[in-house]
Amino acid sequence: MRMKNLFIWDVKFQARYGFYLLYTFLTILYAAFILALPISWKERAAAILIYSDPAAMGLFFMGAIVLLEKSQRVTAFMSITPVSAREYVASKVFSLCAISVVVAVIMAAASGSRSVISVAMGTLLASTVYTLCGIIVATKIVSLNQFILATVPVEIVGFVPAVLGLFLDLHPGFRLYPPVACMELVAGKEPSAVGMLLTILTIILLFWTACRLVRKMWQEQGGVKL
């Protein structure tokens, strides 16, 4: 029940601050852009757009979300509620992944992709990874500018190899790299089984780290040691 209430609260919070309105506009814009491209470009362009925006939405917006919650003392309040850090982190991931997958599926359909399920799965995995990275960074920052600077290394490490893999024949070892494995799914390719396993293990590690840092943030904001 707590998980359900947290999810509903996160959805309402995101709607109140214009996340859905923004992505409605962006989805229409992206779909129109993809539809205007030559057929030979559509799927590859859609893969890059999906991976660099809806799939990475959590990385871009988590700083603003957590800073708003800090300013409203939500994080301080959490330290005295029965809500666990695991539930808090999972709710953030589920709510943002839901938007990401819907936007990605619409963009894939606009591109004429025959691998919509693959695109949805790749977006779900990538969105989970980037949202967890966003939460980890957001727990340590005090301003939006600081968050933007702190996420630059994550963007370089996550985006550059994945995008290059669409255009270049990279060493087979790169297929084991989680961002590349996610991009292969988004691009409708069959990913490496080992790459998928490493992606799942990465998500587990990031989730554990995010929960630990969120718990620490609550303690510092709430002024108590639990």
Transcribe 5-48 into DSSP letters. Answer: HHHHHHHHHHHHTTHHHHHHHHHHHHHHHHHHS-HHHHHHHHHH
Average the pLDDT over 144-149 and give the result.
86
Q: Which two tokens stand for residue 34?
A: 């993809």
Do 203 and 129 contact (CB within 8 A), yes or no?
A: yes
pLDDT at residue 80 greater than cutoff 80: no
Average the pLDDT over 96-117 and give the result.
89
According to the model, what pLDDT value does residue 41 have? 85
Cα–Cα distances in angstroms (integers) from residue 125 to residues 25, 67, 90, 140, 219, in the given order: 24, 25, 14, 24, 30
According to the model, what pLDDT value does residue 173 have? 80
Domain boundaries, the chain: 2-222
pLDDT category of residue 20 using cuts at 50, 70 and 90: confident
Average the pLDDT over 70-78 and give the result.
73
List pLDDT tens digits, range 149-208.
888 888 889 888 888 888 877 777 888 899 999 999 998 888 889 999 999 999 999 999
Report the alpha-carbon distance of residue 177 to residue 73 in Å, rounded: 38
pLDDT at residue 76 greater than cutoff 70: no
Q: Which two tokens stand for residue 157?
A: 């490490």
pLDDT at residue 221 greater than cutoff 70: no
According to the model, what pLDDT value does residue 223 have? 41
pLDDT at residue 101 greater than cutoff 80: yes
